[in-house]
A and B are shown apart, each in its own frame.
Chain A
Amino acid sequence: MRLRRGVKKNSNPLRLHMATRPKYLNLLQIRMPVPAVVSIMHRISGAALFLVLPALLAWWQCSLSSPDTFDASKSFTAMPLVKIGILLLVWGYLHHLCAGVRHLASDIDLGTELKSARFSSWLVLAVSIVLTLLIAVRIW
């Protein structure tokens, strides 16, 4: 960078500030407000649910075909690791659903103030986790 004669680099406090201030582009360094967390989780859960669709359809078909395949699909879902996977999907589904309802509410101008938007974001997180825990208790 060319500097004007007599001006020491970064001698201007404003310029020093410009040079050293962080450019918040690193997602891991940004402290995201809670509505942003809910938003990105909405997206991640949607993509994850899309990716597991063929597995869910295969399981559904298996469970309906015959008594034997019903038992097979039942014992498959009884495996601890599979149960954990199912609970993660259930959480993803419930989060996506609750965040979606919040979206519909903001479409009709409900909860668009900063305070209520933050509160409803916490509510989305809390309701989906509590419902997932209830289902976890029921299937375990």
Chain B
Amino acid sequence: MVNRAVTGAHYGLRDWLAQRVTAVVMLLYTLLIVGLLLATPTIDHDTWRGLFAPLWMKLATLLCLLSLYFHAWVGMRNIFMDYIKHGGVRLALYAVVIAALIAYAGWSAQILWSI
């Protein structure tokens, strides 16, 4: 029987697939933001805020950032699974990373919707 540790990889395609879907989302957003920045001749406070002002841009940015946080979770978890042998330490590190990423998600939404 497979030893399904609670700090394991869940032995499925889900995270593998999520890592790729979130990567493609970030790739597309990177192309979008680079294009928008290149199309903006001078970047001052007004144009910088104006970039994130439309609702579609807020949503696109939030989607990219949430993808980033999910992607970072899978990546950090893989690193911990490879190098941190002690189960308790690994679980604690998972908790720290998850807490940080959820906090970043809230922070990102707050930044975007205060524009």
Contacts and interface: CB of A to CB of B under 8 A. Distances in A.
Contacts of A47: 75-76, 79
B108 interface: yes
B72 A61 contact: no
Given A53-B104, A57-B107, A104-B20, A63 B48 contact: yes
Given A43-B79, A50-B76, A53-B72, A70 B44 contact: yes
Interface string B66-80: 000000100110010
Interface in B22-60: 23-24, 26-27, 30, 44-45, 48-49, 52
A46 B30 contact: no
Interface in B100-115: 100, 104, 107-108, 111, 114-115
A100 interface: yes
A70 B27 CA distance: 27
Contact-residue size bin, chain B (C-beta under 8 Å from the other chain): 20 to 34
Contacts of A104: 20, 23-24
A57 B52 contact: no
Contacts of B26: 97
Interface string A63-95: 111110011000000000000000000000000
A128 to B, nearest CB: 13
Interface of A: 43, 46-47, 49-50, 53-54, 57, 60-61, 63-67, 70-71, 97, 100-101, 103-104, 107
Interface of B: 20, 23-24, 26-27, 30, 44-45, 48-49, 52, 72, 75-76, 79, 97, 100, 104, 107-108, 111, 114-115
